[in-house]
Structure 1
Amino acid sequence: MPPSTRLSREEVVHRIRLLVTRRQLLPGERIGTERALAQAFGVSRFELRAALEQLESTHEIVRRIGRNGGVIVSDGRFECNLNTLESLAHMAKRQGCELTCALMRAAVTSANEADMRILQLPTGRTTVYAVRRLRLLDGEPLSVETSRLPAYMFPGFLDCDLEAAFYTQFERRYSVRAQSVDEALDCASAPHEVCEALGIGDHARVVRVRRITYDGAGHPCERSMDLYNPTRIRFTSRASGAARAMAHVRSAESAAV
């Protein structure tokens, strides 16, 4: 394309938006690579990046590196996978974001009835650690996480770095490896402290995820509750290879009937 007819930044922005609309691309889907888009629009990579920066500033796209990277459609929400041991920090890194953690409070306390039942605490071992942390995505509040851990499994845990990943410390310091997790998702009204930490209105509705983590022997090693700002999160659940294979078998069986 001759220099006199090169697209302006605003025109490139418009064409990218049009491309998303025409192809009906959803959040998380790839628009293309920078190289391919620059060639398609007849502009330099430098000129394309100016348009992409504008679209990033309005949370319409994100740029990711790696084999599956490129220019990705975004709605500004963090995508979180359910029922996985992958940490939020790793999920954030894959999405080109940074997740940090700030300790709100930590204490040793007597187990309540739910702790006794869910953590399957042995007789005489009725003490738990209660830890509350604020999760921040690119410096902005994302969620408040409250964890309750059996003290007998993790002696001296409150002396650890409580802003670091728990599962890593379980394994390195206590040889307890998180092996599986059960999660349940619903909505709830957040208490004042949580609303204040997340920067949302008092008693606002939040997304609540309750989680139980099990070690290699199938014993509960953590119960926790995460309260998410609903405007910043989107949850996904992907079937494993075995589950997908079973679905294909069931589909074939149904077709044969």
Structure 2
Amino acid sequence: MPTRTRLPREEVVRRLRLLIARRQLLPGEKVGTERALAEAFGISRSDLRLALAQLESTNEIARKIGRNGGVVVSDGRLERGLNTLESIAHMAQRQGFALSCTLLRAAVTSANGADMRILRLPADRPTVYAVRRLRMLDGAPLSVETSRIPAYRFPGFLDCDLEAPFYDQFERRYCVRAKSVEETLDCAAAPPGLCSTLGIDDGSQVLRVRRVTYDDAGGPCERSMDLYAPERVRFTMHGSSARAKA
């Protein structure tokens, strides 16, 4: 068994910062696993974790869980995938963030023209649930999400836990399984009434995601607009190429 030495926490922090700088690692890139880093420094994992906790407190690194987990470079931003059904709550947990959700408003309202068209509402059922929620990331405002859900497909939905993931409730209570999403990303001026909610200055720009969710049969079951504080999120997209068939 290799010999373990005791190093002051400040020295381990210094070595981790030096390792990141020498390798020119960018936010989201992996520094290593706890086991590999502890072995490389010749220290115990408990001593390593003290240093990692200090670097986490200053948003320099994050510890991801799961099969591809480990210590990654961080700048305090959530990496948010596009065109994925993975919930924001799961993304945050996987990346080592604490995420909370607060219901701001929920009501039954008349559908507008976009609702009728995008949600394919029958002419005799022109109502939607309008639900607005605030997401907090490690105690700081991350996003304001406004969802519009066809009322005729989800009777009594406002009686559900509206701070929990919607797709889980669609499937568990209504046997409607979210199968795919279409998302678009752009910049927009933050609505004046939401600037203070997001903790940003009046007139600031936000990152806006428009999303439509479809079920197994291809029917739309939700459309939403999510406004993100730009300094707290980074958007990612993964794809693969396929050879065209002759």
TM-score surpassing 0.5? yes
Question: Residues 97-130 of structure 1, C-alpha deviation per residue, up to 9 Å, x if partnerless?
Answer: 2322111001111111111111111111111111
1:138-149 mapped onto 2 (5 Å cutoff)? 138-149=138-149
Give the number of aligned pairs. Answer: 244
Q: What is aligned with 1:81?
A: 81
Q: Which string of whole-angstrom CA distances, capped at 9 and with x for unpartnered residues, describes residues 132-167 of structure 1?
A: 000112332110000011111111111111111111
Question: Could you tell which deviates more after superposition, 57-66 or 115-124?
Answer: 57-66
Q: Pairwise mapping of residues 38-117 of structure 1 onto structure 2 (< 5 A)?
A: 38-117=38-117
- The separation in 2 between residues aligned to 1:121 and 1:182, in whole angstroms, is 18
| 1:163 alignment partner in structure 2 | 163
Partner residue, 1:127: 127
Percent of aligned pairs with the same amino acid: 71
SS of the residue corresponding to residue 19 of structure 2 reads helix
Report how far residue 7 of structure 1 moved: 4.4
Residue 184 of structure 1 deviates from its aligned partner by: 0.2
Q: Which residue of 1 aligns with 2:199?
A: 199
Select the structure that is richer in helix. 1
Q: Partner residue of 1:222?
A: 222
RMSD: 2.1
Shift of 1:41: 2.3
Q: Is the 8 A contact 1:99 1:137 kept in 2?
A: yes
CA distance in 2, matches of 1:148, 1:2: 60
Matched residue, 2:35: 35
Q: Distance in 2 between matches of 1:130 and 1:2?
A: 61
TM-superposed deviation, 1:93:
1.4
Q: Specify the SS of the correspondent of 1:107.
A: strand
Q: 2:33 & 2:217 partners in 1: Cα distance?
A: 45
**1:232 is aligned to 2:218:** no
Which residue matches 2:181?
A: 181
Q: Which amino acid aligns with 1:222?
A: E
* TM-score in terms of structure 2 length: 0.92
Question: Contact conserved, 1:131 with 1:148, CA < 8 A, in 2?
Answer: yes
Q: Which runs of 5+ in 1 are unaligned?
A: none
1:2 deviation in Å? 9.8
Q: Bigger shift: 49-58 or 224-233?
A: 49-58
SS of aligned partner of 1:75: coil
SS at 1:143 equivalent:
strand
Equivalent residues of 1:7, 1:41 under 8 A apart: no
CA distance in 1, matches of 2:65, 2:180: 29
Query: Residues 177-227 of structure 1: CA distance to partner in whole angstroms, max 9, x if unpaired?
Result: 111110000011111232111111122111000001111111111110000
Alpha-carbon distance in structure 2 between the residues aligned to 1:11 and 1:159: 53
Q: What's the counterpart of residue 8 of structure 1?
A: 8
Give me the whole-angstrom Cα distance separating, in 1, the residues matched to 2:206 and 2:129. 24
Q: Deviations over 1:226-251 (max 9, x none)?
A: 00011110111112xxx43x0xx36x
SS at match of 1:173: helix
Runs of 4+ off more than 4 Å: none
SS at match of 1:153: coil
Letter in 1 for 2:16: I
